[in-house]
Amino acid sequence: MSETTAAQTGQQAPARRGAAYDSAFLRACRREPVPHTPVWFMRQAGRSLPEYLKIREGIPMLESCMRPELVKEITLQPVRRHKVDAAIFFSDIVVPLKAVGIDVDIKPGIGPVIADPIRTREDLQRLRPLEPDDVPYITEAIGLLVAELGSTPLIGFAGAPYTLASYLVEGGPSKNHERTKAMMYGEPELWAELVDRLADITAGFLKVQIEAGVSAVQLFDSWVGSLAPDDYRRSVMPASTKVFDAVASYGVPRIHFGVGTGELLGLMGQAGADVVGVDWRVPLHEAARRVGPGKALQGNLDPAVLFAPTSVIETKAREVLHSACAIGESGHIFNLGHGVTPGMDPDALSRLVAFVHENSQR
């Protein structure tokens, strides 16, 4: 008998019981009791680590994402060093765009730059759905990683339609997202088709990662906090919901994160997340109220706190743990309110992991 995947049958399958199934991280995602609060860091792999800078020497960012052995090593570096409760797959949100043929590069110190921005109906033709054959190196790297990680879960990820659209329409990083919003407000039909096509690419990218063995996925809508709730609901949420729906049947936890999203937390949960990521601007007990019952929360220490003395880091970390009590007995994943930044002291991060573990024993 041939194997049928949960996605093919279209049924709500129980979560896959891989070696990581009973890890503190996956248990917290499912809001089950945990021995200690699990902790990992967004952007834990990368320029804060000397071993990362060394291994990446001379290899452009996007090329490094296409080398499975290198991806495996970079993904494992922070797990070995910090003893975090989960690994995040080393890749980038623009990798699937490159894979479907968009001319994109990641410029050091700048970020993703698009050679030909997407601004007209004709431009949309360049955004075709992503097929597994477009990213064989992703499947291979995840296979290597899952074998090596054992009971440590691997988190897959993708960029959400709004955040990807902002890079594609602006042509690169942007402060005010003016061209993006001009299209959203001024050409709503073109916009709707753009984010719908991006939802298909993103869903395709997440499916490849889940089929290859990741045990949770995070949808990064990093820049969506620039929108008012009504605009989010009308112009963005349908596309994000399409992504979450497309992977629901696999039964792996789905995390949804953005920066400056205090006013959007409830809607971001409703879009289909099992876990809502919270930045540092809203305390977790208030975030729990805004998100409502039935969802785990991830966050939310201000990354800048890592630059303060150890005693301050510990006081602030304790405050996060205390605020998380409002979520209930379980259902909290400790993280920063945004990613690790290049100048951060790796030892401070390692100490923080140990501190969270010690101070959240059940």
Residue 52 catalytic? no
> Smaller CB distance to ligand CP3: residue 97 or 287?
97
Q: In angstroms, what is the minimal distance from the CB of 10 to ligand CP3?
A: 29
Rounded to a whole number of angstroms, the minimum distance from the CB of residue 9 to ligand CP3 is 30
Label the pairing between strands 275-277 and 216-220. Answer: unpaired
User: Residues 16, 30, 56, 234: which is the catalytic one?
Assistant: 56
Of 92 and 200, CB closest to ligand CP3: 92
From the list 92, 200, 221, 279, the catalytic residue is 92
| Least distance CB 93 / ligand CP3 (angstroms) | 4
- Whole-angstrom distance, CA of residue 40 vs CA of residue 298: 10
Quote the least distance from Cβ 104 to ligand CP3, whole Å. 10
**What is the spatial distance between Cα 217 and Cα 210, in angstroms, rounded to a whole number?**
8
The pairing of strands 254-257 and 154-159 is unpaired
List all residues 6 or more positions away from 19 whose beta carbon is below 8 Å from its beta carbon. Answer: 150, 151
Q: Parallel, antiparallel, or unpaired: how do β-strands 254-257 and 275-277 relate? A: parallel
Q: 220 or 355: whose CB is closer to ligand CP3?
A: 220
Least separation in angstroms between residue 66's CB and ligand CP3 is 13
Q: How far is the CB of 159 from ligand CP3 (least distance, A)?
A: 6
Nearer to ligand CP3, 47 or 234 (CB): 47
Which residues have a Cβ under 8 Å from the Cβ of 319 and sit 6 or more positions away? none
Q: Quick one: 25 or 90, whose CB is closer to ligand CP3?
A: 90
Q: Residue 281 and residue 301: Cα distance in Å, rounded?
A: 9
Beta strands at 254-257 and 216-220: parallel, antiparallel or unpaired: parallel
21 noted as active-site residue? no
Q: Which residues contact 99 (CB under 8 A, 6 or more apart)?
A: 130, 134, 135, 205
Options 30, 43, 126, 179, the catalytic residue:
43
Q: Are 255 and 217 in contact (CB under 8 A)?
A: yes
**Active site (annotated) includes residue 234:** no
299, 317 contact by CB (below 8 A): no
* Tokens (6 digits) for 127: 């955004």
Is there a catalytic annotation at residue 43?
yes
Say whether 128 is catalytic.
Answer: no
C-beta of 46 vs 213, nearer to ligand CP3: 46
Amino acid at 94: V
3-state secondary structure 101-153: CCCEEEECCCEEEECCCCCCHHHHCCCCCCCHHHCHHHHHHHHHHHHHHCCCC
Binding site for ligand CP3 (CB under 6 A): 42-47, 56, 61, 88, 90, 92-93, 106, 108-109, 111-112, 157, 220, 222, 339
Residues identified as active-site: 43, 47, 56, 92, 167
